[in-house]
Amino acid sequence: MTRKRRKLRKGRAALVIGLVAVIGLASAYGIKAAITQYFPALLEVGNESRTAKANPVSHAQDIAAILDKNALDQVSVSGFSDEELRKCFVSYEIDDKIRERLAKIGWSEDKIPLSSLRYVRVLYRNFDNKPTVGELVVNADMAQATEDVFFDLFNHKYQIGKMILQDAYGGSLSDSYADNNTIALAFGLTDGNSSDVHEQGYAIDLNPLYNPLVKDNGSSVSVFPMQGQLYLDRTLNGEHYISASDYAVEAFGNHGFSWGGDKKGLNDYKHFEFINRPTPATSETSHSEQASEQQQSAEPEQTPVEEPVVPEEPVYEEPVYEDPGYEEWNDEEWNDEGTDEWTDPGTGEDWTGEETYPEEYTE
């Protein structure tokens, strides 16, 4: 009886498990059927998600549209891969349209040739965190670094006020800075504002209203732009303040820039200067000479080989003999009266032409 009861219990358990499985499958089928009948959109969302992962959507047209946008236009980059997003950060040679705009901010060919400049288009996040189109003109030597650093800042969600060429402000730098507009190439700045590097396109001023230039000589303080006086107290953790710990300092540093905010007495908090630029050549040095100098500097120094010294052959000169006992012949001592008389300058005696010999002669 005990064995029969155990077999019966096992049979009942198997039957229960089977019934549960059947009911579960039926329920699942019924739920799916119900969803298919009454909520088909849910299944479509799931199918689209799986399809998107298998076949990622190309944003080539969206990228092309972004590149045609004007500066300060907001754009959408939703769903962009990093590779696609990077294509929105580009550089161009200066065309006629940009050339006309540069002329309005003080550019001329004698200051810097257009071939040395590049027009750079980037994206940045504005103060509302919206992706926005920005533009700069920089030196060709740092165009690539400019693209890279703003791509870095964009991915880090770093916020920037504005980024447009100063011709939008009638060429006024003061108005541009007061509007917190980020710029690079600039003319008409003072020496304290690193005018030389800005005129060569080797510097970028980031969020300049909140990060002004502050000159402090101990007895007086000057601020540029003037409206930046509201943001002089750098001990405050003000929004959009650039300090040594700000991510912008790290990002620009990683791409070959130095920060001007840590110079005592001349703190230019907005200023980032490209330090990996080539050494400027003098006007007298030609391009071929520069290339030759660079090639020579790249070659390892070699120890000069001294050439053997060949001794010169001696030159023989005839010796000059002088008789110390007699003076030189003097024609004036001759008697020109038709006689052979001559006065010996050594003894003062006259010679008559007759030869006299001593009475005794010994060989």
pTM, full prediction: 0.64
247-259 mean pLDDT: 98
pLDDT at residue number 290:
45
Pairing of strands 90-93, 117-125: antiparallel
pLDDT at residue number 92:
98
Please spell the DSSP secondary structure of 69-108, one letter per residue.
SPTT-B---TT--HHHHHTTSEEEE--HHHHHHHHTTT--
88-96 mean pLDDT: 98
| Tokens 């001294």, located at residue | 306
E-only strand ranges, 76-205: 90-93, 117-125, 131-139, 203-205
**pLDDT by residue (tens digit) across 319-357?**
555 545 444 445 554 444 544 555 555 555 555 555 555
CA distance 250 to 154: 14
Among candidate residues 109, 163, 197, 178, the one with its CA nearest the CA of residue 186: 197
| Tokens 């500066």, located at residue | 71
CA distance 99 to 140: 15
What rounded mean pLDDT belongs to the chain? 79
11-29 mean pLDDT: 60
